[in-house]
């Protein structure tokens, strides 16, 4: 079944219901990505404390913190883009799914769920700024 095909005549979902479900799925995924950002920032703080206690040299400590904070910032930006439905949200979401696939045990679950959400036709239409009937979507509640 082609997910980008137009809805069949026997499907009784209205464009408003499609839009509401897409917005809910997109925002739920944004919350998940935001939680990963928060966990990454907490991990960066724990890493800094550990490195300070162990007496790790400043260059190594700075590079590892820069990487963790940069990754957390990327996840936070992606969460904001998904929440607001920016045009680049899908591309950023796909990158986050690829990065999350490497983090066990919950990363692959977030990645699979994110890929499912980002490839839904109603979510694609929402981000592109159109509904299934071709009209622009209504303002978010």
**pLDDT score of 39:** 87
Number of domains in the chain: 1
Which residue in 68, 67, 63, 89 sits closest to 77, CA to CA? 89
78: how many CB neighbours lie within 10 A of its CB?
28
Asked whether residue 43 is assigned to any structural domain, the reply reads yes
Between CA 123 and CA 109 the distance in angstroms is 19
Asked whether residue 5 is assigned to any structural domain, the reply reads no
Q: What is the pLDDT of residues 71-109, one digit of tens each?
A: 889 999 999 998 888 888 889 999 988 988 887 777 888
Tell me the torsion sign for CA atoms 83, 121, 22, 41. negative
**pLDDT score of 74:** 92
Q: pLDDT tens track of the chain, all 141 residues?
A: 566 666 555 555 557 777 888 888 888 889 988 888 898 888 888 888 888 888 878 787 788 888 888 988 999 999 999 888 888 888 999 998 898 888 777 788 888 988 999 888 888 888 887 544 555 555 554
Asked whether residue 1 is assigned to any structural domain, the reply reads no
Asked whether residue 137 is assigned to any structural domain, the reply reads no
Q: 96 lies in which domain range?
A: 17-128
The phi-psi region of residue 129 (left if phi > 0; otherwise alpha if psi is between -120 and 50; otherwise beta) is left
What one-character-per-residue DSSP string does 111-132 give?
HHHHHHHHT-HHHHHHHHT--T
């Amino acid at each position: 079944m082609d997910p980008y095909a137009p809805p069949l005549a026997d499907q009784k979902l209205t464009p408003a219901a499609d839009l509401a479900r897409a917005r809910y799925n997109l925002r739920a995924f944004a919350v998940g990505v935001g939680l990963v950002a928060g966990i990454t920032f907490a991990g960066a703080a724990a890493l800094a404390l550990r490195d300070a206690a162990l007496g790790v040299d400043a260059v190594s400590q700075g590079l590892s913190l820069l990487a963790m904070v940069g990754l957390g910032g990327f996840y936070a930006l992606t969460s904001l883009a998904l929440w607001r439905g920016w045009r680049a949200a899908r591309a950023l979401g796909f990158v986050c799914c690829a990065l999350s696939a490497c983090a066990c045990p919950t990363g692959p679950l977030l990645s699979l769920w994110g890929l499912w959400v980002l490839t839904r036709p109603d979510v694609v239409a929402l981000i592109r700024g159109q509904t299934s009937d071709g009209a622009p979507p209504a303002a978010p509640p």
